[in-house]
Amino acid sequence: DYDMAALVAQVKAKLSPYRFEHCVRTSQRSVELAQLNHADLQKAQVAGLVHDYAKERSAEEFMKVIKQEHLDSDLLNYGNAIWHGVVGVYFIKRELGIYDEEILNAVRKHTTAAEVMTTLDKIVFMADYTESGRDFEGVEQARQLTDRDLDAGVSYQLAHTLQLLVNKQQQIYPKTIDSYNKWVVARQ
């Protein structure tokens, strides 16, 4: 069992107020989606809370972990958007003492998704996108779709995020493309 009050205090201490509030809302939305999909409520609550725990670390800190932990050196070609989940789990393990691989995997996949996703992975991916503070164009459609069909939500987010990244001519992480091919293209 997790001491949620202690965990909340630790997350709060490492994030700006607005991002901490986003984490709290993502945790609440994760629980909601866990209820709708008969998943583990506590794992959803914890994973949602800590998913952006490492988001405000410096590039130097992330690069140090990538090298020390011998992570794929291709990661060095990307930035915070990609690192805070997949590299961020090292801070979650070390500082928060969370070692549950189901929770850690959901954090690892929360930005890019993945070809293979558990229900918990999908829940955190979609909770992050549809938490009550999000207000982008189409968010209400994304919420309703996700409530009805979690996989349809994953597909919606990937299609829209990839489109956004292409429009802004941003660097695409290969895993994001793999996810798009699996959840958007192969699903049609």
121 binds Fe ion (CB under 5 A): no
Longest dimension (CA), the chain: 44
128 binds ligand DGI (CB under 6 A): yes
CB atoms inside a 10 Å sphere around CB 42: 14
C-beta of 63: minimal distance to Fe ion in Å?
Answer: 18
Stretch that binds Fe ion, among 50-58, 59-67, 71-79, 101-109 (CB under 5 A): 50-58
The one of ligand DGI, Fe ion, none whose footprint includes residue 81, by CB under 5 to 8 A per kind, is ligand DGI
32 binds ligand DGI (CB under 6 A): no
> Would you give the distance in Å from CA 108 to the centre of its chain?
7
Pair 26, 131: CB distance under 8 Å: yes
The one of Fe ion, ligand DGI, none whose footprint includes residue 161, by CB under 5 to 8 A per kind, is ligand DGI
Footprint (CB under 6 A) of ligand DGI, residues 78-107: 81, 85
C-beta of 75: minimal distance to ligand DGI in Å?
Answer: 12
Q: Please tell me the distance from the alpha carbon of residue 107 to that of residue 124, in angstroms, as a whole number.
A: 7
Single out the residue of 112, 130, 146, 155 in contact with ligand DGI (rule: CB under 6 A).
112
Q: Please tell me the distance from the alpha carbon of residue 104 to that of residue 151, in angstroms, as a whole number.
A: 20
Q: Please tell me the distance from the alpha carbon of residue 29 to that of residue 146, in angstroms, as a whole number.
A: 11
Angstrom CA distances, 104 to 51, 76, 97, 133, 143, stand at 9, 21, 11, 24, 24
86 phi and psi angles, rounded to 5 deg: -70, -35
Residues in CB range of 92: below 8 A, 6 or more apart: 50, 53, 54, 98, 104, 107
Instruction: State which residue, 40 or 178, has the beta carbon closest to ligand DGI.
Output: 178
The one of Fe ion, ligand DGI, none whose footprint includes residue 172, by CB under 5 to 8 A per kind, is ligand DGI
172 binds ligand DGI (CB under 6 A): yes
Q: Please tell me the distance from the alpha carbon of residue 157 to that of residue 3, in angstroms, as a whole number.
A: 32
C-beta of 138: minimal distance to ligand DGI in Å?
Answer: 14
182 binds ligand DGI (CB under 6 A): no
Residues that bind ligand DGI (CB under 6 A): 52, 55, 81, 85, 110-112, 128, 161, 165, 170-173, 176
- Residue ranges that bind Fe ion, judged by CB under 5 A: 52, 110, 128
